[in-house]
Structure 1
């Protein structure tokens, strides 16, 4: 359901205006050793987050920035909205006045008190490490869809995103960005640390891992598997509707309505192997070595099919 997301657009628009008046070194702050954008996150929000009362039927999406979380998040929201329309009629519990900004860590400190009053099912996105999530998420056995993407395309997408977003520090050259990416100076932390930490949960029965690449290869199968994991029972026709609305072209065309000014930046190319346009031989070798050292032999590392998607 490609409806306008007023809360999303309002929060981002205000943050972009605030960021446009700030110096580059003022855009990020550090919390527990990890950098975050100061215009959308705050220490107060992180402290208040523990008050979230997670539920077993929460629909949670976890993914490192630029792994495709807005794309897959829209698929999840559409699946839930389609099911609710089918079972509850036109008046969906996700009506605009009941919405919160979907990313758990973005917003104001009072959002968790409001979220605790929202009816089920709640759709929640996050870029956070598992140890930085509210403990209630794991105690409640809420199901988590873990989205991962090959590191070279993540870095490439993050580079373009950083240079298009006033919320984040921009980079004069790709070489400058690559150094920052490889030396753990990114908002939301290191990609390799993110996968290493989430790998500890990859075998949990309430965690399903899906890769950006497999979803690109067969979106229909991916949507069907995601719906089954969350116990969202839809007909083949209803599932096909979600598949069609989640095509990159469809989402790009509706991006201004769904994501405001951020839409054109979020939905830039949506492809695989764009990294080949930026990486040089030395950078390829450094990324290959880092992958080998940190996550190659892990469950998530093997799921990424690095040899298929990341070898020149």
Structure 2
């Protein structure tokens, strides 16, 4: 597939840089948020400010390990089914990752361009709002997100590891991990979930009823597809189907990106004290908010 070599090449380069990087040197801070030096640069962030969005750009926003690769696959398949054009990732699709020249090259890409991001809403380039590009935001419960993030760091051979789950949990709760605090990200996006050009999707809902989720996503982006097309895309987009093809689609890192995808896996690692600490953080940051309600925290985050 034409889009894969470039995609995999970028991942391989980032992993190569990771080999040389210790955990203490993994991050640089830009506008108050830590980012991995292996994937982002201050120069790229500066160039991003002048990025020229289009009204038909498709933006997929998420905190890390909340299903961004899964949702990217689904939307790519929807574009293919609707436009009869296989989507080519001539650049690594995470908006803020790569070299500072990528935005110039992206001017030549045909529409619709599919972009993913882990940025806070207020860190996105202004042209996205000016042109009212549609934004699909996927969230996952914070406990499973934290455990998935920990395994990603500690299972991928070339990425700097944490000494223990307890150490990672401390850093996660302080927001001293790549792309910063889950809760700050959530608070920031919560203010905009009801905007006309924004749609919220819950990872757990997709796990429980993928076909309904795929249909809603297609409708949000204006893709008129038949029920048969929706069923086909859903069957090709289950977590298991994604995992089986992960080396082909994402290279050696694929099986680590699609590790388990289970709901409730956090119970394997969280102590009762840690669970309570996160419950209190959730109460403090999100209880009573629109997003707090949508996350179904009581259903997914209780022992």
TM value normalised by structure 2: 0.97
Q: Residues of 2 paired with 1:122 and 1:283: CA distance?
A: 41
* Structure 1 position 167, deviation (Å): 6.5
Residue 8 of structure 1 corresponds to: 7
Query: Is 1:133 the counterpart of 2:124 in the alignment?
Result: yes
5+ residue gaps in structure 1? 86-91
Structure 1 CA distance, aligned partners of 2:240 and 2:190?
Answer: 32
Shift in alpha-carbon separation, 1:248–1:3, aligned structure 2, 3 A: farther
Residues 37 and 167 of structure 1 are in contact (CA less than 8 Å); yes or no, is this contact kept in structure 2?
Answer: no
- The CA deviation string for residues 87-110 of structure 1, in whole angstroms up to 9 with x for no partner, is xxxxx37346xx211100111111
Q: Tell me by how many angstroms 1:50 deviates.
A: 1.8
Partner-residue secondary structure (3-state), 1:125: strand
1:275 to 257, 266, 277: 266
2:104, 2:50 → 1: CA distance?
Answer: 7
Q: Secondary structure at the match of 1:117?
A: coil
Counterpart-to-counterpart distance in 2, 1:81 and 1:106 = 24
8 A contact 2:18–2:160 mirrored in 1: no
Which residue of 2 is the match for residue 204 of structure 1? 195
For the 8 Å contact 1:27–1:168, the answer to whether it is kept is no
Please state how far the C-alpha of 1:40 moved relative to its aligned partner: 1.1
Matches within 5 A, 1:183-198: 183-198=174-189
Partner SS state of residue 184, structure 2 = helix
**1:94 alignment partner in structure 2:** 87
Aligned to 2:235: 244
Residue of structure 1 in register with 2:143 after alignment: 152
Q: Distance in 2 between matches of 1:81 and 1:100?
A: 18
Which one of 278, 281, 291 corresponds to residue 287 of structure 1?
Answer: 278
Aligned-residue offset at 1:23 = 2.6
Structure 1 residues 37-67: Cα deviation after superposition (integer angstroms, max 9, x where no partner): 1111000110111222111111110000010
Q: Which moved more, 1:220-229 or 1:177-186?
A: 177-186
1:81 deviates by 1.6
Unaligned runs of 5+ in 2: none
Contact 1:51 1:113 in 2 (8 A): no
Computed over aligned residues only, the root mean square deviation of the Cα atoms, in angstroms, reads: 1.4
Question: 1:19 corresponds to which residue?
Answer: 18
Change in Cα spacing, 1:93 to 1:110, as seen in structure 2 (3 Å) is: farther
**Corresponding residue for 1:88?**
none
Matched residue pairs, number? Answer: 303
Match of 2:101?
110
TM-score normalized with structure 1 length = 0.94
Of 282-291 and 16-25, deviating more is 16-25
Inter-partner Cα distance in structure 2 for 1:21 and 1:169: 9
